[in-house]
Amino acid sequence: MTSTVDVSHAAYFAFRDRLLGDLRTTVLTGEQLCEAGRLIYGRPNRLSLYGIPAPRMEAAGIRLLGRTTIECCIDDYADAVADTLVGLHTGIPHEDDEPLVVDLFCGSGNFSHHLGTRLGATVYAAELDPAVHAATRHNLDRIGARTRLHLGDYRDLLGKLTARGPRDTYFVEPPWGPAFTPAGLDLTRTSPPVPTILDDIRRSRDGRPCLVAIKTNDQIAHDSLNRSFAGARHLRSITPEPTLPYGANMQFHLYRLGSGAEE
């Protein structure tokens, strides 16, 4: 049994290297998408974005690049986090008609698409990589999403948006790169570092409170999640059933962010 698990994990890590290597900006075939679903989540259908599972993506005209396939937030996870956020929104007194929903490092844009749909809100999303942006633009048009997709740096997008109220929600998932080591994920070493991104958010809204959701793995290094969100209020963490070895699975954390002084 142990050796079967090891073999399948070895296949996962080999495929992951390809998705982040030679297939990084290649649109995957239907067969490669199903293989990714099987190796990452245990079955092809579980790799599902915009409500479309991997076995149907090619026929539905969905374009997923290698890097986005490994980096994306699948429907099951996006649904669970959106559910929690919708519950939190219900308990927050507000005067705005519609909260601001912002996906600062959107990749596939799937997470914010789910949240925006659930809240009936327009989503504002930034993506810096032109190849990822083009694929995501294509996919969001294909499914008729209301997302306003910006090609460029997240700071440009922040500079264009005005705070609306305390339900405003930002999703933060910068590339991990060298922050992801055998010792775990160091959120102070992502690119850009998470504390810098949080300061940028605070500044863009003059410290008015908001919600922040972040995706991490299940092995945080150097207490860097707590250190990055020092002063913010932790609201919930969501841990999907692990499908991979420790360190390779995903988790989501929700915080209330204020000016930094009064949190």
Ligand X SMILES: C[S@@+](CC[C@H](N)C(=O)[O-])C[C@H]1O[C@@H](n2cnc3c(N)ncnc32)[C@H](O)[C@@H]1O
CA dist 73 and 82 (Å) reads 12
Name the residue number minimizing CB distance to ligand X.
Answer: 107
Contact (CB, 8 A) for 231 and 260: yes
Per-residue contact flags (x/-) with ligand X for residues 89 to 118, judged by CB under 6 A: ----------------xxxx-xx-------
CA distance 57 to 54: 5
Minimum CB distance to ligand X, residue 257 (Å): 18
In the bound state with ligand X, the residue whose beta carbon lies nearer, of 39 and 74, is 74
Quick check: 71 binds ligand X (CB under 6 A)?
yes
Q: Which of 129, 180, 250, 253 binds ligand X (CB under 6 A)?
A: 129
Q: Is 186 in the site for ligand X (CB under 6 A)?
A: no
- Candidate list 173, 224, 225, 244; residue touching ligand X; CB under 6 A: 173
Amino acid at 117: T
Residue closer to ligand X, measured from CB, 23 or 132: 132
Q: At residue 38, what is the residue type? A: R
Q: Compute the least distance from the CB of residue 125 to ligand X, in Å.
A: 9
DSSP track, 138-192: HHHHHHT---EEEES-HHHHHHH-----TT-EEEE----GGGEETTEE-TTSSSS
User: Residue 67 Cβ, how far from ligand X at the closest point, in Å?
Assistant: 7
Please tell me whether the peptide bond between 195 and the residue prior to it is cis, using omega within 30 degrees of 0: no
Of 189 and 209, nearer to ligand X (C-beta) is 189
Cα–Cα distance for residue pair 249/220, rounded to 1 Å: 11
CA distance 110 to 35: 20
> According to CB under 6 A, which one of 127, 187, 212, 214 is a site residue for ligand X?
127
Q: With 0-12 CB in 10 A as exposed, 13-18 as middle and 19+ as buried, what is 34?
A: buried
Number of residues that bind ligand X (CB under 6 A): 19
Binding site for ligand X (CB under 6 A): 68, 71-73, 105-108, 110-111, 126-129, 132, 153-154, 173, 175
